[in-house]
Chains A and B, each alone.
Chain A
């Protein structure tokens, strides 16, 4: 889940403000850098693999630090920002949008932390909903006195920004402007939105404690079966069965996460430190000291699963929540390092159309069907549909019939099959002129037959020509196809 620090670089950011916990006033821009620093510190501990970038805006925008995991570089860049003219939030949004799309595309979910001075923009822009073409959470931090009139004027606009984004919040320094309250505001963003996911990977009685990286969105909203549904990630990833990669056949995924095995939380510690923040710290600690070496030697189901999935080229289909599924498979970034990966599907039982519904998948019964099931009604392109919108389509169909006609009686069944196909379509379209013309064409073809041709050919052609004719005022029967003329000669040519 990449993050954009979208920093207001208008001149008003250089305005000094007085703080409760400092004698000297401080410029807003320094306050912003300080606050973001605190957020970065929090992230360095809790989600080391997060990508962040810094985008500044005034009347123009610029990506001053491209997406990186190097938190020191980010911290350093934040202290060296330049400031220009006025605040134009529209431009800033455009910049963030551009930065994310260029790097990650439209399917990656992102977070944007907008830091500004709380001044109301002169003219309020027209906002399109959604504001961003990718899933996004927007945090707005206005660095000004919470009760100030300028902020009161700006808040409805900020709220509109968040509403059009669909997710996010305005984060205000609590209890007046102070270095501490500002830092706390930024850390609170970390606490609310950069929480690691921890849970269990379960396969019957086998299980592993795992963490997902990047953490999944706690819930996603989708329209499925005409219904707006919200699915929530449960804390258990339950394996329901396995499938070979060709059978899986590249389903659409909402998000991808690395599945990393972690040591089981020790019961005594979880009593003393129930907050997720402490739990996370403990794991990080665990990774640092000698325990890590022991963990490496403690067998983990997760590693076994990864090994077998890799060797067999299979995936494990798993349940993530009510009517929400995903798959686990071995994935390699480079040749050397392979990993267990979780892809989440679109919510709903029918998220992979060629599996029909996930709950109808099963392993150990007798009456087996092969994946994928054939649809009840074949699509038009695989059932020889008749479409004569372009003249060439009709001409090609007629030529095909004539080709068979010239090879009568050998091509008897093909000739009648094509002829009846044309006849049926002509009747359905009410295109009786075509039947008459086709009849004429066949009659003429009959006169053109070379003398060496089998006598059967002439018999069948004139039979077909007469059968095609439409009696005035009568509806030709679509359900009775033209049958070949029964002659003494013909029986041997019908298969």
Chain B
């Protein structure tokens, strides 16, 4: 069980008096008023402390947008007097962290300095605490694996020059040893097996200290990096660089997004937006250029009308977050996607040919980048399903199975609450299993499902695992009604399709009823699990007995349990009545006209057609199939600025 360095991170922010200083990057807030003749307000600047908070929160924003769980960050705030945690391992959201920062006053004016060693010691100590998932793995007795604990500490502070930094690093190394020793003795802690400490020196740029960027290894456990940056914007830039390294992220620049100008609705300009996401979304590109910089520029393709109904072949899907979240182009793009539209991205190629390589879409309020499969498909030129086993049968119960599928459509359930112990998927499986106990595949092998209109609601009630007494009455009504129909001599309704093939219409009326009763009995027997079901069965048997004496012996052979029967041989009651491979029943030959014979023969032929657009399922031919696609291609939907 190996947890990566990025599983747990502690940010140590220097809250010492040095950070009260100005970042010396002036912000002019009085822009518009310049046009009016007024005394402009003095520009202001952020303090070093504000810059640290701002850039570290931005680091968190990126991490938590892309990894909503499993990547934990904790803050340690420290000055000369007090060092404390800002949030817990459980408080993992930007809003929680921002609220906590709101309770921290700016650094004190009284001279005090952060004790880096003390703060890092706290950070390492908390890294030794197992996270929720680590705790779960540790205490799970089924998994006999050791939890490998790793972590990272980022310190934003001011260092005292090269030699002092070296001394500090040595001290931190000893601190890690001590922390690990303590953790080994504590049952509730897991010693660290790999730690990365990142020291960032930040200053307004006036106080020059020489700190060369370095990366040093201490033993097998510890790596310490030192960076020096000017505060303000440059600190944020550095952290944005680091977050990409730490979490293996890459940037996709979406170029050429058409947007209308706020002032001038007629003109439209093209904008670019940078998006951050896991680098794996670029795995197809990394191949050619093995350079470190993960940046790809892709062209915006104007979205088509309804690509959601077409299943795209995707090799990966990852969450994204914009680099510059509040810029107008960024928010315009994210809002556009959040309304449910998808955008295809095109890889510009030298040859000028068009290659759609990625897709942006939102699911449940989160935006994802999908990597589309662009390589040649190994599934080229496959045989059609109509050429294989069962391919020439034309009277499948397609519509009935469609209804069955809709009845078993999946939606996610909140499994955290509610009394159910069984998971929803298993419950669905049980329902599928029961519903398919008796399910003839083709129209011509069933009488019951051809007379559905007369047998409902019995058919849908009987399938239920438990039924009420009222429902029993309803079922009985159906049975009595059926009996009434027979005595009246009404013709059995044979729903579309069944009239043609297999010559069912050739059967005599009495035979049709006999087949129906036998099949119905078999069906009810299969689903008969409770006393209420039993009542329906008894009613059915009662009616049957009074009906025909002749057919009494047939139902006795009916199997009660469907013995892992092959689908193709789903027990069909009418089988004992009509010989299986009979082209024309010999006893009916005398009663059939020549035309009937020819028609019968025609209907047996496999459904083939010379028409390109022929759909054997609907038995319809669609003309000018491509006309719609063409129209779609020419359609141009520009994005509007809200």
Cβ of B233 within 8 Å of any chain A Cβ, yes or no, is yes
Cβ of B432 within 8 Å of any chain A Cβ, yes or no, is yes
Q: Contact: A108 with B375, CB < 8 Å?
A: yes
B432 contacts which of A106, A241, A296, A383 (Cβ < 8 Å)?
A241
Q: Contact: B384 with A381, CB < 8 Å?
A: no
Q: Contact: B410 with A361, CB < 8 Å?
A: yes
Q: Contact: B101 with A360, CB < 8 Å?
A: no
Residues of B within 8 A of A225 (CB): 70, 133
B411 contacts which of A312, A371, A430 (Cβ < 8 Å)?
A371
Q: How far is the CB of A238 from chain B (nearest CB, A)?
A: 8
Q: How far is the CB of A364 from chain B (nearest CB, A)?
A: 5
A400 to B101, CA, bound (A): 25
Q: Contact: A308 with B412, CB < 8 Å?
A: no
A362 contacts which of B32, B104, B411, B567 (Cβ < 8 Å)?
B411
> Which of these binds chain B: A10-18, A32-40, A140-148, A258-266?
A258-266
Q: Contact: A240 with B410, CB < 8 Å?
A: yes
Residues of A within 8 A of B98 (CB): 424-425, 428
Query: Could you mark each residue 368-408 of chain A with 1 if its beta carbon is under 8 Å from any beta carbon of chain B, else 0?
Result: 11111111111111110111111111111011001000000
Query: Could you mark each residue 212-256 of chain A with 1 if its beta carbon is under 8 Å from any beta carbon of chain B, else 0?
Result: 011000000000011110000000001111111111111111001
Query: Could you mark each residue 1-38 of chain B with 1 if its beta carbon is under 8 Å from any beta carbon of chain A, else 0?
Result: 11110010000000000000000000111111100101
Q: Contact: B392 with A297, CB < 8 Å?
A: yes
Residues of A within 8 A of B406 (CB): 242, 312, 314
Q: How far is the CB of A347 from chain B (nearest CB, A)?
A: 14
Interface residues of B in 505-554 (CB under 8 A from A): none
Most buried by B among A133, A206, A372: A206
Q: Contact: B326 with A430, CB < 8 Å?
A: no
> Which of these binds chain B: A150-158, A171-179, A183-191, A299-307?
A299-307
A245 contacts which of B1, B308, B436 (Cβ < 8 Å)?
B308
Q: Contact: B378 with A252, CB < 8 Å?
A: no
Given A298-B393, A311-B398, A362-B428 contact (CB < 8 Å): yes
Cβ of A80 within 8 Å of any chain B Cβ, yes or no, is no
Q: Contact: A363 with B412, CB < 8 Å?
A: no
Interface residues of B in 417-451 (CB under 8 A from A): 418, 420, 423-429, 431-437, 439, 441-442, 445
A243 to B363, CA, bound (A): 15
Given A295-B389, A311-B398, A369-B411 contact (CB < 8 Å): yes
Q: Assign chain A's interface to a size class.
A: 35 or more
Given A241-B425, A441-B29, A354-B385 contact (CB < 8 Å): no
Residues of A within 8 A of B381 (CB): 333
Given A1-B378, A49-B382, A302-B389, A363-B46 contact (CB < 8 Å): no
Q: Contact: A300 with B53, CB < 8 Å?
A: no
Q: Contact: A362 with B378, CB < 8 Å?
A: no
B382 contacts which of A133, A204, A333, A402 (Cβ < 8 Å)?
A333
Given A133-B286, A252-B315, A379-B321, A369-B413 contact (CB < 8 Å): yes
Q: Contact: B435 with A204, CB < 8 Å?
A: yes
Cβ of A359 within 8 Å of any chain B Cβ, yes or no, is yes
Residues of A within 8 A of B434 (CB): 204
Q: How far is the CB of B501 from chain A (nearest CB, A)?
A: 11
Q: How far is the CB of A303 from chain B (nearest CB, A)?
A: 4
Residues of B within 8 A of A204 (CB): 429, 432-437, 439
A377 contacts which of B57, B93, B390, B625 (Cβ < 8 Å)?
B93
Cβ of B158 within 8 Å of any chain A Cβ, yes or no, is no
Residues of B within 8 A of A359 (CB): 415, 423-426
Most buried by B among A246, A305, A380: A380
Cβ of A433 within 8 Å of any chain B Cβ, yes or no, is yes
Residues of A within 8 A of B411 (CB): 247, 361-363, 368-371
Q: Contact: B361 with A249, CB < 8 Å?
A: yes
Identity of the chain A residue whose Cβ is nearest the Cβ of B338 in the assembled complex: A382
Identity of the chain A residue whose Cβ is nearest the Cβ of B365 in the assembled complex: A374
A225 to B441, CA, bound (A): 41
Q: How far is the CB of B196 from chain A (nearest CB, A)?
A: 17
Q: How far is the CB of B507 from chain A (nearest CB, A)?
A: 20
Q: How many residues of B contact A (CB 8 A)?
A: 152
Q: Contact: B331 with A381, CB < 8 Å?
A: yes
> Which of these binds chain A: B166-174, B185-193, B296-304, B366-374?
B366-374
Cβ of A315 within 8 Å of any chain B Cβ, yes or no, is yes
Cβ of A104 within 8 Å of any chain B Cβ, yes or no, is yes
Interface residues of A in 311-356 (CB under 8 A from B): 311-317, 329, 331, 333, 335-341, 343, 353-356
Q: Contact: A245 with B432, CB < 8 Å?
A: no
Most buried by A among B378, B413, B445: B378
Cβ of A112 within 8 Å of any chain B Cβ, yes or no, is no
Q: Contact: B567 with A248, CB < 8 Å?
A: no
A438 to B41, CA, bound (A): 10
A365 to B423, CA, bound (A): 11
Cβ of B284 within 8 Å of any chain A Cβ, yes or no, is yes
B45 contacts which of A2, A108, A353, A433 (Cβ < 8 Å)?
A433
Q: Contact: B568 with A299, CB < 8 Å?
A: yes
Residues of B within 8 A of A304 (CB): 390, 396-398, 401, 441
Q: Contact: B365 with A371, CB < 8 Å?
A: no
Cβ of A116 within 8 Å of any chain B Cβ, yes or no, is no
Q: Contact: B58 with A250, CB < 8 Å?
A: no
Cβ of A420 within 8 Å of any chain B Cβ, yes or no, is no
Q: Contact: B361 with A250, CB < 8 Å?
A: yes
Identity of the chain A residue whose Cβ is nearest the Cβ of B235 in the assembled complex: A389
A206 contacts which of B65, B398, B439 (Cβ < 8 Å)?
B439
Residues of B within 8 A of A75 (CB): none
**Interface residues, chain A, CB within 8 Å of chain B?**
1-2, 49, 51, 67, 101, 103-108, 133, 203-208, 213-214, 225-228, 238-253, 256, 258, 260-264, 295-317, 329, 331, 333, 335-341, 343, 353-365, 367-383, 385-396, 398-399, 402, 424-425, 427-434, 437-438, 440-441, 444, 448, 475, 478-479
**Contact sample, A vs B, 15 pairs, CB 8 Å cutoff:** A67-B376, A105-B284, A239-B432, A245-B311, A261-B388, A264-B568, A298-B393, A299-B393, A375-B364, A381-B321, A381-B330, A428-B53, A438-B29, A441-B29, A479-B102
Besides A101-B375, A296-B391, 15 other CB < 8 A contacts? A107-B373, A206-B436, A226-B1, A238-B429, A249-B308, A297-B390, A297-B393, A303-B390, A331-B311, A333-B382, A362-B423, A367-B414, A368-B413, A389-B55, A475-B105
